[in-house]
Amino acid sequence: MGAFKPDHAAIAALVHEDFVQADLHERADRVVAVAKGNAPVESGRYRDSIHAEDGPDGEVLIVSDVEYAAVIELGTRDAGHPAHHTIANALDAARG
């Protein structure tokens, strides 16, 4: 019996299939909902900016496009802004 040889090109192409994209977008919508529900709100701009968008290789990204999103997500050491990990925590919650 021969050894199993996976077709890496076929496996990589799976992410572009309609059923996989539909599943990724459904999961992304849940992550976005959790992130928005847990986002800190001062003006609402950060919360309202959280959304899903298609990545270049078939992935679906959860992003915020406000200029201070990294400060909210990761915090700062010297300015006294604690990390909130809004998107990271939403991704973790979606795994369960």
How much is the mean pLDDT over the chain?
A: 91
> Cβ(87)–Cβ(49) under 8 Å?
no
Token readout for 33 is: 């909902």
The per-residue pLDDT for range 14-58, each reduced to its tens digit, is: 999 999 999 999 999 999 999 999 999 989 999 999 999 999 899
Sign of CA dihedral 83, 88, 90, 96: negative
> Cβ(62)–Cβ(31) under 8 Å?
yes
CB atoms within 10 A of CB 4: 5
